[in-house]
Amino acid sequence: MQIVREVDAVKAMRKAWEQPVGLVPTMGYLHQGHVELVRQARASNATVVVSIFVNPTQFGPSEDYGRYPRAFERDCAMLQSAGADVVFAPAPHEMYPPGFSSWVVVEDVTSRFEGAIRPVHFRGVATVCNKLFNIVYPARAYFGQKDAQQVAVIKRMVRDLNMNLEIAVVPTVREPDGLAMSSRNSYLSPEQRAAASVLYRALTAAKALRNQGGHPAEVCSKMEEVVSAESLAVLDYAAVVDPLTFEPVESLDRPCLSVLAVRFGTTRLIDNMRLDE
């Protein structure tokens, strides 16, 4: 496995890579959810590239960029075991050189939920993914279903800008109690970690109610009720949305997704579940 840190070096190498190329964009501090993305990429591509880059442009001024967990050597060992061929790990100045002033802004789908709460977040996500796609030229890029709104944003960007790649979405990998694996889970105290399973309980309660014929408002109320019963949890939002547009739905007799954001102290976790599958 090769470790590359310069954009120009990747551009020089990519002509020699066996095709097709699969790209797994990450911010590092990897867990089994990331490993599953790499395994899926390995199964369908001749060359697998994993980026490790804590992207400063998707963090707001009061967010956790400075303390976002990092464990590069451990990550590389995990990636080698999972079958990655190349790790692209640029420094911030390599991705955003002096004078950088070009941005990708995806409208509409970014105006709600995570986009409303974190105003600069999706501009940073879309821009860095656009850059990674242009640097690596993958046939496929792999993202986890846990970050469902991010997936919707990237799919919209790829469609609208006629990018020649497939976005592969891999199901959320969960802990035994249902908590979605996330690098930010490491911020939780033991008491908060135990309480955090409330996200999965709320989502499964929502799906059960939908299967019983509940309406979107009832499903949202059920998620709010489950979260409010956990004393350490503070709800940011609970909604049922279209998985492509993230617009709230008026009927559950269509593709729909329950979405949650919950705070435990200073740690904020998101999760989702398809209700129509």
Superfamily for the 2-170 domain:
HUPs (3.40.50.620)
For the domain made up of 183-271, the CATH class stated in words is alpha beta
231 three-state secondary structure: coil
Domain ranges of the chain: 2-170, 183-271
Q: Tokens 């579940």 map to which residue?
A: 273
Position 91 confidence tier, pLDDT thresholds 50, 70, 90: very high
Q: Which residue has the tokens 């329950």?
A: 258
Q: What average pLDDT score do residues 165-172 get?
A: 98
Q: 0.85 cut: is pTM over it?
A: yes
Q: How confident is the model at residue 214 (pLDDT cuts 50, 70, 90)?
A: confident
How many CA within 13 A on the CB side of residue 116? 10
Report, as an integer, the average pLDDT of 165-174.
98
Give the count of beta carbons closer than 10 Å to the beta carbon of residue 189: 12
Does the structure show a pLDDT above 90 at 171?
yes
Spot the catalytic one: 34, 93, 121, 215: 34
Q: Is 215 a catalytic residue?
A: no
Dump pLDDT digits (tens) for 65-79.
999 999 999 999 999
Q: For residue 277, is pLDDT > 90?
A: no
In the sheet with 47-52, reading across from the earlier edge strand, the strands are: 2-4, 86-88, 47-52, 21-26, 140-144, 166-170
Contact 38, 79 (CB under 8 A): yes
